[in-house]
Structure 1
């Protein structure tokens, strides 16, 4: 794929595209897993998934609360019936999604500086890290309600097989982030892991240990207790805003339900069980770790100098 150089942007009247890789240079944003895409993280590899339960629950929950409130305030069953009609089809689609097998994650191996991309046919690609493409796309619209901005992070991979069919040469993943800054922060989770290490990433959801936190309780009761304990811990730490946010999230977004479904579906998260990838995922002696290319070293140094000058 021919791709504009990382660090360049294209701006339109109501849109903007920021090209992030290749080469994977710093974006200037801090890594933030805003969509809970980090499923598994250790010193060797990072598993990134694309199964966003929270967005579906929060959308359906918010609409349900809205129409329940309207029906209560207007004392009208018509509003309740209207809300049921609106969410019926999306609810069926969401339930169907929950019962389908989760897509296997993409695995970023920082010691080998390679990326494993599972394919639907049971095969996989192993792609050099420095060939991965990434771009953030943002668009805006203006209505009577004001300005609305939406954004996506696109990550692309090229099939390393030069003889692959035309319809099997490229693979893309898209993440609905809400804006370019969020998209860059999401991309920084992958870039920082590969270029700096796991310590560069913020604390993320512990999908592998999610059921351990339930302490032998069932998912419903265990998640409720864990959620209440989270609020209490914020209160003890005098983090009153965070405690209030979690408490408000119960009613506005259905916070406990999100964690219940997330624990049921993704704890533990699916893993790549191909024997070759299991072997590929094992640790290497430090002297065998792959190194950055000279081109990337130069590009990162230039980008860091540019960001430092911009901040001065």
Structure 2
């Protein structure tokens, strides 16, 4: 989380959009209203969830990240070192003078292709591991953004600082961004999700942002946080297991248990006729190319290491603030949030296809009008 100088702008309000030169920013809060989208942490940004708090920004690499890091270089090595010489062999046999030309072409191609594939794929493997290691080192000094639902507060520790900043939950600003630009490959569209606040003492603006696959994924990430804070979800599995591959007693990350559960479900679907032999073969081929259960084991190792590091770097004030409170001391949502949330749900029920940002804008307009009349 980096500070930015506060700029004069209209106060943020849920549903309001602000254009900028390459796109648009749309606010989802303050006043965390229900979005109606499924609460799913698509980017695996949530690291830990328990009865008192949720940590955001220290999630582990999903298993697909490790599969891509290991599997893509290996696949490219096999493609260039073995498949390409085989194609040359077939070409020599079909268009040359039989076996002699085919074997000569295969041998020459294999000698060059094997060495080139080995060094090129080794480079990309080391590059991928280097990027992972760089990001992993950041976790040694990064302190998570923590959402405490018992206090209904959010704790931030800006980069390079050790003093935590506590922000009321209902005053936190969240937004989604949509930007596009023209490149040599055509129009590129990007999406992101962000949260931020103004420092109560200095007036500095602090923001935390990351990219998402699309606008709905960004809103779903916010919904996962909102649903946790409003006691609608309670575990990491509920927001990070959309494929339901974790059993009741399984840990909430993509370890070896997820691989075994996926294989068990695959064979059940095959026996019931839901999956064919081609899908079954493709599943096994994919996991053989991505080193079987090694990516899952790396995820398990990474989870344990991150947990050890996070406890070492946590400021004392933040650790004390994170201690569970007696239930009678839990903070309650404001009456205004309750009324606005109820109105949002009514509008969503009346028109489920209507964009949630439009509903937010209407509700905020309605209640701002009521406030002005009351005043």
Question: Fold-level match, TM-score > 0.5?
Answer: yes
| Residues 1:64 and 2:73 aligned together | yes
2:198 aligned residue (158, 168, 177):
158
Q: Structure 1, residues 198-241: CA drift from partner, whole Å, max 9, x if none?
A: 348753569xxxxx969xxxxxxxx55x3553234424764867
When residues 170 and 112 of structure 1 are mapped into structure 2, their CA distance, relative to the original with a 3 A threshold, is: same
| Residues 1:47 and 2:55 aligned together | yes
Query: Which deviates the most, 126-135 or 228-237?
Result: 228-237
Residue 253 of structure 1: how far off its partner (Å):
5.8
Q: Secondary structure at the match of 1:53?
A: coil
2:333 aligned residue (289, 292, 295):
292
Give, in whole Å, the separation in 2 of the partners of 1:21 and 1:173: 15
Residue 48 of structure 1: how far off its partner (Å):
1.8
Give, in whole Å, the separation in 1 of the partners of 2:151 and 2:32: 16
User: Aligned residue for 2:233?
Assistant: 198
When residues 289 and 38 of structure 1 are mapped into structure 2, their CA distance, relative to the original with a 3 A threshold, is: same
When residues 289 and 4 of structure 1 are mapped into structure 2, their CA distance, relative to the original with a 3 A threshold, is: same
Give, in whole Å, the separation in 1 of the partners of 2:133 and 2:177: 29
User: Aligned residue for 1:92?
Assistant: 130
User: Aligned residue for 1:137?
Assistant: 177
Kindly tell me the number of residue pairs found equivalent between the two proteins. Answer: 292
User: Aligned residue for 2:163?
Assistant: 123
When residues 265 and 41 of structure 1 are mapped into structure 2, their CA distance, relative to the original with a 3 A threshold, is: same
User: Is the 8 Å Cα contact of residues 132 and 158 (structure 1) preserved in structure 2?
Assistant: no
User: Aligned residue for 1:105?
Assistant: 144
Q: Secondary structure at the match of 2:224?
A: helix
Which 5+ residue runs of structure 1 have no aligned equivalent? 207-211, 215-222
Residue 84 of structure 1: how far off its partner (Å):
3.9
Give, in whole Å, the separation in 1 of the partners of 2:217 and 2:15: 16
Residue 280 of structure 1: how far off its partner (Å):
2.0
User: Aligned residue for 1:73?
Assistant: 83
Give, in whole Å, the separation in 2 of the partners of 1:184 and 1:274: 30
User: Is the 8 Å Cα contact of residues 54 and 147 (structure 2) preserved in structure 1?
Assistant: yes
Give, in whole Å, the separation in 2 of the partners of 1:100 and 1:115: 21
Q: Secondary structure at the match of 2:33?
A: coil
When residues 175 and 109 of structure 1 are mapped into structure 2, their CA distance, relative to the original with a 3 A threshold, is: same
Give, in whole Å, the separation in 2 of the partners of 1:258 and 1:3: 45
Give, in whole Å, the separation in 2 of the partners of 1:39 and 1:294: 31
| Residues 1:27 and 2:35 aligned together | yes
User: Is the 8 Å Cα contact of residues 47 and 58 (structure 2) preserved in structure 1?
Assistant: no
Residue 284 of structure 1: how far off its partner (Å):
2.7
Give, in whole Å, the separation in 2 of the partners of 1:265 and 1:136: 29
Give, in whole Å, the separation in 2 of the partners of 1:254 and 1:132: 43
Give, in whole Å, the separation in 1 of the partners of 2:329 and 2:121: 59
Residue 254 of structure 1: how far off its partner (Å):
6.0
TM-score by length of 2: 0.64
Give, in whole Å, the separation in 1 of the partners of 2:236 and 2:131: 33
Q: Highest relative contact order (Cα 8 Å, sep 6+), 1 or 2?
A: 2
Higher helix share: 2
Q: Secondary structure at the match of 1:46?
A: strand
User: Aligned residue for 2:303?
Assistant: 266
RMSD (Å) for aligned C-alpha atoms: 3.7
Q: Highest CA radius of gyration, 1 or 2? A: 2
Which 5+ residue runs of structure 2 have no aligned equivalent? 1-5, 86-112, 242-248, 354-375
